[in-house]
Amino acid sequence: MEPLSSPLLTKTTYISPTPALSIAPAQVIRGVDRLAEAGEAIAAFGSRPVIVGGDRTLKLIQPHLQPIIETHQLKANWANYTPDCSESSLEKLQQIGADHQGDLVIGVGGGKALDLAKLLAYRTRVPIITIPTSGATCAAWTALSNIYTNEGAFLYDVGLAKCPDLLILDYSLIQTAPMRTLIAGIGDAIAKWYEASVSSGHSEETLIVAAVQQARVLRDILFQKSVAALNEPGSQTWREVVDATVLLAGAIGGLGGAQCRTVAAHAVHNGLTHLSATHKTLHGEKVAYGILVQLRLEEMLQGNQLAASARGQLLKFYSDIHLPQTLADLGLGNITLAELRHGAEIACGEKSDIHRLPFKVCPESLMAAMVSTTVPVGATKS
């Protein structure tokens, strides 16, 4: 086990100057009630799994994994990732893994549980299986982990050497999650287009061109199918939307790699996580709001009319599927100016992806964008 030192997981530690591509999991098993049939595939990777999840998801998965554990005579250790996907949780889990002599990590849950499980596997050099229990993120697919403080404030992301060895997408599990998680996943996934087209839209590199085009396809699938999917959980259309948020969003991240990065929508999310009042809202909800902020910046600072009409289109879509459009929708209707400035300053930090926008953004203009996400399209001219 490597000693844990701080700062332990900087990007440079993990990404060489010419990073290898980590496009996709080695295997994806998906279907209704497919986990029950995945015992052999799981047992092929190890016999002493550390199963990482949150309170709700470990309880949820236990009756599904227990028969597999018994049939294949696995020695499992169930480990809670709380308080957050943080350095201290990682340290705790590394100790648990070492004590258990774990030879496999199984991550179960939403973005944070899966991110920590992937990082634990990477640090302890064992295989990783991800089992998402909601459609809220593409974390089950990607070779990336986001690290937060114990209080849930975003710190940095870590590129991992590879995508998971096995991803098990069991639609029956996803269907047990609150509807709100899939709505958030739609918000996170649709951001791929608005961010990738800005950060990489002019690239000539084949795989990046492909990633940006897939992001547009992903956006269109979500525009076309989200309402019907949310009206009929478990239907074929619903499964297509789950595939979009969990699989295709991840595939775009894999194909685009480090150059096809997030821009202002995620930077706004990262800033907002430093306001404790946002901890009740989900990652994708904050990102969805962040897309509107990004488009406002493009409207206000660049006079970009395409951004204005894109915002109009998104506002309509958000009303249809109940994604947040304003600070008030995120439970931040009563924050002080100082708090708003604090979030904006973090979002504008030196290393923030907000600076991938083709113009300069300062906290003042970001604050102006953050409070005007729903201003009628065409009402302001730069």
Q: Which residue of the chain is nearest Zn ion when measured via CB? A: 188
Scan residues 75-104 and list those touching Zn ion (CB under 5 A).
Answer: none
Partnered with residue 28 across adjacent β-strands are 167
Smallest separation (angstroms) from Zn ion to the CB of 226: 17
| Residue 188 in contact with Zn ion, rule: CB under 5 A | yes
The number of residues that bind Zn ion (CB under 5 A) is 1
| Residue 157 in contact with Zn ion, rule: CB under 5 A | no
Q: Which stretch binds Zn ion (CB under 5 A): 52-60, 176-184, 186-194, 212-220?
A: 186-194
Smallest separation (angstroms) from Zn ion to the CB of 283: 6
Kindly tell me which of 57 and 137 has the beta carbon lying closer to Zn ion: 137
CB 103 within 8 A of CB 47: yes
Kindly tell me which of 142 and 237 has the beta carbon lying closer to Zn ion: 142
Please report, in range form, the residues annotated as the binding site for NAD(+). 111-115, 142, 144, 148
The dihedral over CA atoms of 76, 81, 85, 89, expressed in degrees to the nearest 10, equals: -90
CA distance to 113, 185, 358, 365, per residue, from 302 (Å): 39, 29, 9, 12
Backbone φ/ψ region at 78: left (φ over 0), alpha (ψ -120 to 50), beta: beta
Smallest separation (angstroms) from Zn ion to the CB of 298: 19
Kindly tell me which of 184 and 315 has the beta carbon lying closer to Zn ion: 184
Q: Which stretch binds Zn ion (CB under 5 A): 44-52, 183-191, 229-237, 339-347?
A: 183-191
**Residue located via tokens 């660049």:** 302
| Residue 195 in contact with Zn ion, rule: CB under 5 A | no
Angle CA 34–133–112, to nearest 5: 140
Kindly tell me which of 29 and 241 has the beta carbon lying closer to Zn ion: 241
Smallest separation (angstroms) from Zn ion to the CB of 156: 14
How does DSSP classify residue 95? H
Smallest separation (angstroms) from Zn ion to the CB of 186: 12
Helix (H), strand (E) counts: the chain: 15, 8
Partnered with residue 77 across adjacent β-strands are 50
Q: Which stretch binds Zn ion (CB under 5 A): 96-104, 180-188, 194-202, 241-249?
A: 180-188
Q: Which stretch binds Zn ion (CB under 5 A): 65-73, 164-172, 181-189, 203-211?
A: 181-189
**Is the alpha carbon torsion for 266, 268, 274, 280 positive or negative?**
negative
Scan residues 199-238 and list those touching Zn ion (CB under 5 A).
Answer: none
- The burial of 338, by beta-carbon neighbours within 10 Å (0-12 exposed, 13-18 middle, 19 or more buried), is given as exposed
Kindly tell me which of 100 and 180 has the beta carbon lying closer to Zn ion: 180
CB 315 within 8 A of CB 264: no
Q: Which stretch binds Zn ion (CB under 5 A): 50-58, 140-148, 157-165, 185-193?
A: 185-193
Kindly tell me which of 38 and 144 has the beta carbon lying closer to Zn ion: 144
Kindly tell me which of 86 and 124 has the beta carbon lying closer to Zn ion: 86
Kindly tell me which of 195 and 329 has the beta carbon lying closer to Zn ion: 195
- 3 state DSSP class of 260: coil
Smallest separation (angstroms) from Zn ion to the CB of 137: 6
Q: Which stretch binds Zn ion (CB under 5 A): 160-168, 187-195, 292-300, 367-375?
A: 187-195
Please report, in range form, the residues annotated as the binding site for glycerol. 188, 266, 283
Tokens found for residue 247: 């699989």
**Residue located via tokens 């206000």:** 300
Smallest separation (angstroms) from Zn ion to the CB of 144: 10
Alpha-carbon gap, residue 127 to 15, rounded angstroms: 19
Angle CA 317–302–324, to nearest 5: 25
Residue partners of 182: CB distance under 8 A and separation at least 6: 134, 135, 136, 174, 229, 230, 241, 242, 245
Smallest separation (angstroms) from Zn ion to the CB of 314: 16
Tokens found for residue 239: 């499964």
Computed on alpha carbons and rounded to an integer, the radius of gyration of the chain in Å comes to: 20
Binding site for Zn ion (CB under 5 A): 188
